[in-house]
Amino acid sequence: MIYNEPSPLETKIISQRWTMENSAAIDTYLATDGYVAIRKALEMTPEAIIEELKASSLRGRGGAGFPTGLKWSFVPRNSGKPSYIICNSDESEPGTCKDRLLMENDPHQMIEGMLIAGWTIKSNKGYVFIRGEYRYLIPIVDKAIAEAYERGYLGKNILGSGWDFDLYTHTGAGAYECGEESALLESLEGKRGIPRLKPPFPAVVGAFQCPTILNNCETFSAVPVILRNGGAWFAGLGTPKNGGTRLLCISGHINNPGVYELPLGFPFEQLLNEVCGGMRNGKKLKAVIPGGSSAPVLTAEEVQGLLLDYDSIAKLKSMAGSGGIVILDEDTDIVAVALRTIKFYAHESCGWCIPCREGTTWLKKILTRFHAGFGQQSDIELIGELANNMLGRTFCALGDAAAMPTTGFITKFRSEFEAYLAKNHLTLEDTTPELVAIEAH
């Protein structure tokens, strides 16, 4: 099922089946080039498959944007240990809701991508790690897996190759941190989702301490079409080093929010005005969060002329991240958004390291007080300094993910924070703990 009308401006490649009847069924998939790529892959060497991926310039769609072909090339293929294929469907970055659609509407495409990865490193087992909140998808993916077993795409001696591959679903139970790949692996092993020390990286010591290919659901979903049509073809859809299309999840103050598949390098203005039907209620654009809540906010001025690809957004010191784009109009209370953002990271901090655990909590408390009308001028500096004390110093990227947007809000919209001070009806001295506590909840 899809939840918004597609746009005619989309380049429907990995979302091409979403609007078909019974799109998740294996027959639909088979009727639309499904499981053609794995047949092709079975005739290819691992090196050739990896070369094709490199040529496609496919980059990880989970958030970090690491080149997929390169990632696969790091996995030792003769370690003597078993190896694993893990699909990160723990989609949790605020602003992101695409993997959900991929699994709901086209699970076989993801399965085929994982199969190709499995063949590449001669792995015999894979897991689809699905966030607990997507519990309803488990029967859907389980059904697709069962169908694939029935038709010989999973199980023993796949398509007569002599190679076996088993695939299972595995559920999370509510933890943003498990989207971090090593925390996900800990969770898969039945533990608290605390990230692991790196190196070694999961490519070498991953699931169950074995070599592992771990990619985002959308990344795997893009693999079959790349093998079918060639890496160069896929790369040609996007901009240099930013190959192909990706699913952008647009939310916020626009007329047609939704998930749209667009080529990398798609112009922001066209997305806003043509794909999404422009600003809601004719309001003016104030800010854009370009890649999920971890991405530092961009002002309306900054996004002028912006092309939506990894490198262009990185140039603005933000990131394309998970493809979640939040559009904020002129009426948006940036302080409230900053507060809600840090509340999220404080809630999701695993607590392992001091700067993240204490930093997110402290920032949450200050912003709560600030938002409640008890802010002080010095708080503005303090927020920035605390974010700096987290940045680059935490165990994993969650600390950065909390610090970067906070810094973004406070520097780019400082005037809004100062305006809050002007509105203050009370001073800190009037604060009672009860008042702050009420607001904190």
Partner 1 sequence: MADPVKLTIDGQAVQAAPGTLVINAAKEAGIPIPAFCYYDGLALQAACRMCLVEVEKTPKLQVACTLPVAEGMVVHTDSPAVQQARKGTLEFLLTNHPLDCPVCDKGGECELQDMVFRYGAGESRYREEKIHVDEKQWSPIVFYDAPRCILCYRCVRICGEGLGVSALGVGNRGAAAEIVPNGGDHLECDECGACIDICPVGALTSGTYRYKTRPWEMEHVGTICTHCSNGCKTTLGIRNGNIIRANNRDRSGINGEFLCIKGRYAFDFNEHPDRLTMPLVRQNGELKPVSWAIALATVAKKFLELRAKKGRFGVLGSTRTSNEENFVLQKFARRILNTNNIDHHRTGDLPALLDALSGRTDALATMGELYTAKAALVIDSDLAQEQPLIAFQLRANWRHHKAHVYVVSPGPVREDSYAETVRAGLGQEFEALETLREKLAKEPELTILFGAAIKGDAVRRLVAFGDSLGIPVKYVCLVDYSNSRGASDMGLLPDLAPGYEAVPEPGLNYDQILSDGALDAVWIVGTNPAARQPLAFSNTFVVVQDLFLTETARQADVVLPAASAYEKTGTVTSVTGEIQKLSRAAKTMGAKPDLDIFQLLAKEMREDLGTVKPESVFREISESVKGYNVSFPVIETGQAIPTYPINGRVAFRPEPELIRPAENTLFTSGTLGRYSEMLNSVLESPGALYRDPIRDTGIRVGSVTQETQTTAPVDKPQ
Partner 2 sequence: MTFSPELEERFSKLLNSYPPGRTRSAVVPMLLYAQDEIGRVSQELVEEVARRCGVTPLQVDEVIGYYSMLHRKPLGKFHVQVCTNICCQVVGGEDLYHHASSMLGVGNKQVTNDGLISLEEVECMGACSWAPAIQINYDFHHRVTPERFDQLIAALRDGSYKQRAS
Binding site for partner 2 (CB under 8 A): 3-4, 82, 91-97, 99-100, 125, 127, 131-136, 138-139, 166, 168, 170-176, 187-193, 208, 249-253, 257-259, 289, 293, 324, 326, 328, 332, 336-337, 340-341, 344, 347-348, 350, 441
Only one residue has tokens 């499995």, namely 118
Helices (H), 161-247: 181-188, 217-229, 231-237
Query: What is the sign, positive or negative, of the torsion defined by CA atoms of 129, 131, 132, 135?
Result: negative
Q: How far is the CB of 371 from partner 1 (least distance, A)?
A: 13
Subset of residues 406 to 435 that bind partner 1, contact rule: CB under 8 A:
428, 433
Only one residue has tokens 């990398």, namely 264
* 249 binds, options partner 2, partner 1, none, Cβ within 5 to 8 A by partner type: partner 2
Subset of residues 82 to 101 that bind partner 1, contact rule: CB under 8 A:
none
- CB closer to partner 1, 268 vs 352: 352
Helices (H), 7-45: 26-31, 36-42
C-alpha–C-alpha distance, residues 413 and 407, integer Å: 10
* Interaction between residue 355 and partner 1 (CB under 8 A): yes
Q: What is the DSSP-derived secondary structure letter of residue 260?
A: E
Taking CB under 8 A as the binding criterion, the range among 30-38, 47-55, 334-342, 361-369 that sits at the site for partner 1 is: 361-369
Q: How far is the CB of 346 from partner 2 (least distance, A)?
A: 11
C-alpha–C-alpha distance, residues 305 and 312, integer Å: 10
* Interaction between residue 204 and partner 1 (CB under 8 A): no
Count CB neighbours of 430 within 10 A: 11
* Interaction between residue 395 and partner 1 (CB under 8 A): yes
Peptide bond into 200 cis (omega under 30): yes
* Interaction between residue 361 and partner 1 (CB under 8 A): yes
- CB closer to partner 1, 101 vs 353: 353
- CB closer to partner 2, 244 vs 252: 252
C-alpha–C-alpha distance, residues 230 and 120, integer Å: 16
Q: Which amino acid is at 220?
A: F
* 382 binds, options partner 1, partner 2, none, Cβ within 5 to 8 A by partner type: partner 1
* 160 binds, options partner 1, partner 2, none, Cβ within 5 to 8 A by partner type: none
Q: How far is the CB of 295 from partner 2 (least distance, A)?
A: 12
Size of the site for partner 1 (CB under 8 A): 34
Residue 135's contacts (CB-CB under 8 Å, 6 or more residues apart) are 171
C-alpha–C-alpha distance, residues 26 and 107, integer Å: 9
* Out of 81, 135, 156, 192, the residue judged to bind partner 1 by CB under 8 A: 192
* 141 binds, options partner 1, partner 2, none, Cβ within 5 to 8 A by partner type: none
- CB closer to partner 1, 103 vs 367: 367
420 exposed, middle or buried (CB, 10 Å; 0-12, 13-18, 19+)? buried
212-216 and 258-263 as β-strands: parallel, antiparallel, unpaired?
Answer: unpaired
Q: How far is the CB of 406 from partner 1 (least distance, A)?
A: 15
C-alpha–C-alpha distance, residues 251 and 5, integer Å: 14
Q: Which amino acid is at 372?
A: A
* Out of 334, 366, 380, 403, the residue judged to bind partner 1 by CB under 8 A: 366
Q: What does the buried/exposed string (b/e) look like for 142-174 if buried means 16 or more CB atoms within 10 Å of the residue's CB?
A: eebbebbeebebbeeebeeeebebebebbbbee
Q: How far is the CB of 296 from partner 1 (least distance, A)?
A: 17
The alpha carbon of residue 425 and the mean position of all alpha carbons in its chain are separated, in whole angstroms, by: 40
Residue pair 217/9 in contact by the 8 Å Cβ criterion: no
Taking CB under 8 A as the binding criterion, the range among 14-22, 27-35, 251-259, 383-391 that sits at the site for partner 1 is: 383-391
Q: How far is the CB of 166 from partner 1 (least distance, A)?
A: 30
Secondary structure class of 246 (helix, strand, coil): strand
* Out of 197, 282, 415, 422, the residue judged to bind partner 1 by CB under 8 A: 197
Q: How far is the CB of 185 from partner 2 (least distance, A)?
A: 10
Secondary structure class of 266 (helix, strand, coil): strand
Query: What is the sign, positive or negative, of the torsion defined by CA atoms of 79, 81, 85, 86?
Result: negative
* Interaction between residue 212 and partner 1 (CB under 8 A): no
Q: Which residues bind partner 1 (CB under 8 A)?
A: 175, 192, 197, 346-355, 357-362, 365-366, 369, 382, 386, 388-389, 392-395, 428, 433, 436-437
